[in-house]
Amino acid sequence: MILKKITWAFFVILCVSVAFYPALYFILDRKFALLGSKTPALLVDVLWNTAFYTHIILGGIALLIGWTQFLPKFRKENIRLHRQVGKLYIISVALSGISGLYIAQYATGGKVSVWGFSALAVVWLYTNFRAYTAIRRKDIRTHEAMMIYNYAATFAAVTLRLWLPILVPLYGGIAHFNEAYRVIAWLCWVPNIIVAYGIVQQRKKI
């Protein structure tokens, strides 16, 4: 029980910390983080910038509020708030996912990265839609399963940043960043979905 509480606390800390990460893009130089790998032409492109900031801001909001929806006590005692937070989450993921699918076409690392992040965006949008339509039908079991998958995709924002400092040095440092990033484009979310699948299957036995 203690280990479970510690794991949950660590999970929440990661979610909240990375949720505020996009704020750094408004504070630091435009060459901060992945923006440093983009071309000058892309950095001044209005459509790309609109999609980029829509993606990171609303994605951050989804990451920040999504974990609260998995607290049974919170859902039971604050059903109206749970629904309002859920609506904000669904809208945030929808807009962040659409913009994410667009900026994925310009992902650092070439086609492998483009495919990886595009697939993530599709999974994110699909499970979001399924979760929404399920709750509209009052299909609670499907809604909960889809939300587990969906937040696993949302959590890719965290796992991406956990893998970066591990894989980039393993691939030979910043000079080989693209090679590492191609792997991370898939590694940041596929294992998350596998874990989510395990959780969903376990819940079916309850």
Cα–Cα dist 70/147, whole Å: 9
Residues 121-164 pLDDT 10s: 999 999 999 999 999 999 999 999 999 999 999 999 999 999 99
| pLDDT greater at residue 34 or residue 146 | 146
Lowest-confidence pick of 41-45, 127-131, 144-148, 170-174 = 170-174
Q: 3-state class of 77 per DSSP?
A: helix
Mean pLDDT computed over every residue of the chain: 93
Give the mean model confidence (pLDDT) for residues 18-31: 84
> What amino acid occupies position 66?
G
Q: Are the CB atoms for 18 and 161 separated by under 8 Å?
A: yes
Cα–Cα dist 63/44, whole Å: 27
Give the mean model confidence (pLDDT) for residues 3-20: 93
The band of 41, judged by pLDDT with boundaries at 50, 70 and 90, is: very high
Cα–Cα dist 12/131, whole Å: 22
Cα–Cα dist 82/12, whole Å: 17
Lowest-confidence pick of 50-64, 119-133, 166-180 = 166-180
Does the pLDDT of residue 182 top 80, yes or no?
yes
Q: Which domains does the chain have, with CATH numbers?
A: 2-204 (1.20.120)
Q: 3-state class of 114 per DSSP?
A: helix
Cα–Cα dist 53/58, whole Å: 8
Cα–Cα dist 99/60, whole Å: 13
Does the pLDDT of residue 205 top 90, yes or no?
no
- With helix as H, strand as E and coil as C, how does 87-98 read? HHHHHHHHHHHH
Residues 81-106 pLDDT 10s: 999 999 999 999 999 999 999 999 99
| pLDDT greater at residue 73 or residue 90 | 90
Say what the pLDDT of residue 186 is.
Answer: 98
Say what the pLDDT of residue 28 is.
Answer: 78
Cα–Cα dist 15/17, whole Å: 6
Give 133's DSSP letter.
Answer: H
Length in residues, the chain: 206
